[in-house]
């Protein structure tokens, strides 16, 4: 029985590692460039502010794909009743929250070249929809320091640096502004791989032969430049 529980624990770790963007054991040793998505997320982000134009928080709303959702149920169904009860859903949320902390919760905010530090989420809510056959993850993050959106444009994006998890924002409506001034303008950006490759090549062409080119560890940081993003300007 203990051996069975050990095997089950190992399976849980691998399932959560998938959400965390880690490689499964069968993919160990694969490079980031060779990796491709194995977990798919239908994503939404709420950008919450106040009437003075300050960023209060962002809320991520993720529908996980059916295959991943189905794989989680047997590992967390402690009472073996074929579904995830409220305490079991809380256990899923606790484990996922701990695991994806290493990856900054896949959530990145920046103004210009500077990243905006975010606090870890508080509650990590998980529900299961039998009709959809999917798990829904919802969590809120607040900036560590005040962010005045009326003074600087801010970029919001969600992506996995290892390419293991794919986050889909199919249209501009997936980035929802709440309680922000009416003057705020948003630009929905879906990068083109060819255009971004050309832009990167153009940038390194400016360096002399004796200069060190600041190349990301994967050659080109496509995980970032290819991420769908929202550029918000309330100036």
For position 199, what pLDDT does the model report? 59
Strand ordering across the sheet containing 229-233: 114-115, 107-111, 154-158, 229-233, 185-189
Task: Return the SS3 of 146.
Answer: coil
The CA distance from 180 to 187, in Å, is 15
Tens digit of pLDDT per residue, the chain (235 long)? 444 444 444 444 444 444 443 332 322 233 343 446 789 999 999 999 998 999 999 999 999 999 999 999 999 999 999 899 999 999 999 999 999 999 999 999 999 889 999 999 999 999 999 999 999 999 999 999 999 999 999 999 999 987 788 999 999 999 999 999 999 999 999 887 555 555 555 554 555 545 554 545 444 456 677 789 999 999 9
pLDDT of residue 198: 55
Residue 197: what pLDDT? 53
Q: Is the dihedral of CA 38, 119, 175, 127 positive or negative?
A: positive
DSSP 123: -
pLDDT of residue 164: 84
Q: What is the pLDDT of residue 22?
A: 36
- Identify the pLDDT of residue 191: 81
Q: Which residues contact 150 (CB under 8 A, 6 or more apart)?
A: 52, 53, 181, 234, 235
Residue with tokens 């295959």: 67
Helix (H) or strand (E) holding 140: strand 134-141
């Amino acid at each position: 029985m203990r051996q069975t529980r050990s095997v089950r624990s190992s399976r849980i770790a691998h399932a959560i590692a998938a959400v965390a963007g880690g490689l499964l054991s069968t993919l160990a040793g694969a490079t980031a460039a060779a990796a491709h998505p194995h977990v798919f997320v239908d994503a939404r982000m709420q950008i919450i502010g106040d009437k003075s134009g300050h960023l209060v928080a962002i809320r991520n709303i993720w529908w996980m794909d059916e295959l991943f959702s189905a794989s989680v149920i047997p590992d967390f169904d402690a009472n073996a009743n074929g579904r995830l009860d409220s305490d079991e859903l809380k256990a899923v949320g606790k484990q996922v929250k701990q695991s994806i902390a290493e990856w900054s919760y896949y959530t990145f905010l920046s103004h210009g070249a500077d990243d905006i530090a975010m606090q870890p989420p508080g509650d990590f809510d998980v529900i299961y929809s039998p009709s959809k056959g999917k798990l829904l993850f919802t969590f809120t993050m607040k900036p560590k320091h005040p962010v005045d959106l009326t003074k600087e444009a801010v970029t919001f994006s969600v992506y996995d640096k290892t390419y293991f998890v794919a986050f889909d924002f199919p249209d501009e409506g997936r980035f929802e502004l709440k309680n922000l001034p009416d003057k705020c303008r948003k630009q929905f950006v879906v990068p083109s791989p060819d255009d971004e490759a050309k832009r990167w090549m153009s940038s390194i062409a400016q360096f002399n032969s004796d200069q060190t080119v600041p190349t990301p560890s994967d050659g080109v940081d496509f995980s970032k430049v290819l991420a769908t993003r929202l550029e918000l300007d309330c100036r």
